[in-house]
Structure 1
Amino acid sequence: MSSSPQSSVPEIHVAVDLIVLTLRGGELSVLLIQRDDEPHKGSWALPGGFIEYGEDLDGAAYRVLSDEASLGSGAVHLEQVRTFGAPGRDPRGHVVSVAFMALGADLPDPLRGEDVADARWWSIADLDGISLAFDHATVLEASIERARSKLEYTTLAVTFLPEEFTISQLRGVYESVWGRSLDAGNFHRKATRSEGFLVELDRHAAPTGGRPARLYRAGSGTSLVPPLLRAGD
């Protein structure tokens, strides 16, 4: 079989989209930018950009984090979610986008980057009725489900917390990301028996009226054994 002439090879562009998640006021929140140019001028969207020549995917993701989210490479946990490449997802042409999830604790307000009308944190609960640009609603939904699932089997929850934290704060992460209340006693028992998840410290949080809560830090483990499942608390 003869090969097709080079001129018939379609031009495909590669981009990265960033789903930056943190907890603000106890609510799972995502960073969105308001587009200042076409297509979808004025619409809210995920931070993103095209891959530059000679740039790898991680490098592009960190560049977008710096330019549009004002975040350095050490501020977040970054990982790929999946690739989106349906024809027609971008009116400028056939664009394949690699979605990256970036998770961090107490992330700052963003500084508005170039070609951006506005940038701010949105509570996931406040996005009902908001039409995101391109297919970003689908990208965001897939990323949130990835985060929810990974909290069941990995130690990812600690990326939303300061270096030292209480079990109550850790439970708050699960409740905010999963969107449901958990039984405090059951959660404490399951979290503290998972090997490598937590390290108990010999000090307590500042008292808030009741018995001071014990402080913990993240352990060296990456997997939860047994897992903390959403099906029951």
Structure 2
Amino acid sequence: MSPDSFYGNVPRHLVAVDCIIFGFEDGKLKLLIIKRKVDPMEGAWSLVGGFVQEGESTDNAAIRVLRQTTGIQDIYMDQLQSYGDTDRDTGARVISIAYYALIRISEHDRLLANAHGAHWLSLHQIPELIFDHNKMLSDALTRLRDQAHFHPIGFELLPEKFTLPQLRNLYEEIYQRPLDKRNFRKKILAMDILEKLEEKDKSSSKKGAHLYRFDRLKYDALTQHGLVFEI
């Protein structure tokens, strides 16, 4: 039996997904945005998004949009919230489900992103975005900061091997404020969730800085014994 048999007189609305995609590069937290290719507001800056297709869940729609734009299959993402103001989209009545995603910029397909007109911009470079996309970005940053404070999601933005200064710099970018160098080092090492490597990063000094790796298995085991992650 057709759904119209049950809901024939109910208004129909379009459903979209919009993805707030964060990356970390050159010491800056960045956002992936595109130049919109269709009207309304063709040529304006926009988050990456698209409409939910028939037979597709909103989660799968977001995964598809992320894959098509970045070329990455396995991306950390989380649903943010829905945006349904009646006048939020000037083209039609569109309800959008927003997701925020964290990716390693070094792993994404730059040629594919360029084909979609996508650009990585640091937070202070973000222009006015279409519709309510600036609101989505603001909400996503608030969620990211809340989650990064109590969960190790920040490591999703770093390369597999990183230095403690790079890690501190990342959290300074997430929180948009400086962090005390000694306190940060003491706190993160006290959790015993990092593997210290023999390798060093000598890009900024002859002495170099030790490289570390996040030990996910150890973190998971320690949380079972009461470890509380907090930065």
TM-score relative to the length of structure 2: 0.84
Q: Give the superposition deviation at 1:152.
A: 0.6
Q: Give the superposition deviation at 1:31.
A: 0.8
Question: Counterparts of 1:19 and 1:226 in 2: how far apart (Å)?
Answer: 25
Q: Give the superposition deviation at 1:153.
A: 0.5
Change (3 A) 1:93 1:207: closer
Give the secondary-structure state (helix, strand or coil) at the position aligned to 1:54: coil
Query: Structure 1 runs of 4+ off > 6 angstroms?
Result: none
Q: Which residue of 1 aligns with 2:148?
A: 151
Question: Counterparts of 1:16 and 1:143 in 2: how far apart (Å)?
Answer: 14
Q: Which residue of 1 aligns with 2:3?
A: none
181, 185, 188: which one pairs with 1:188?
A: 185
1:212 aligns with 2:212: no
Q: Which residue of 1 aligns with 2:114?
A: 111
Change (3 A) 1:63 1:88: same
Q: Give the superposition deviation at 1:208.
A: 4.2
TM-score relative to the length of structure 1: 0.83
Q: Is the 8 A contact 1:105 1:159 kept in 2?
A: yes
Give the secondary-structure state (helix, strand or coil) at the position aligned to 1:59: helix
Pairing 1:1-233 to 2, within 5 Å after superposition: 6-67=7-68, 69-74=69-74, 76-107=75-106, 108=108, 109=110, 110-113=113-116, 118-127=117-126, 130-195=127-192, 197-206=193-202, 208-220=204-216, 221=219, 225-228=228-231
- Percentage of identical aligned residues: 33
Question: Counterparts of 1:208 and 1:40 in 2: how far apart (Å)?
Answer: 44
Q: Is the 8 A contact 2:18 2:62 kept in 1?
A: yes
Q: Is the 8 A contact 2:79 2:97 kept in 1?
A: yes
Residue segments in structure 1 that go unaligned for 5+ positions in a row: 229-233
Q: Is the 8 A contact 2:152 2:229 kept in 1?
A: no
Q: Give the superposition deviation at 1:207.
A: 6.7
Q: Give the superposition deviation at 1:112.
A: 2.2
Change (3 A) 1:163 1:10: same
Output the amino acid matched with 1:81: L
Output the amino acid matched with 1:103: L
Question: Counterparts of 2:174 and 2:9 in 1: how far apart (Å)?
Answer: 46
Q: Give the superposition deviation at 1:166.
A: 1.3
Provide, for residues 182-202 of structure 1, a one-character-per-residue CA deviation record: whole Å limited to 9, x for no partner.
11111000111125x322334
Q: Is the 8 A contact 1:112 1:119 kept in 2?
A: yes
Output the amino acid matched with 2:44: S
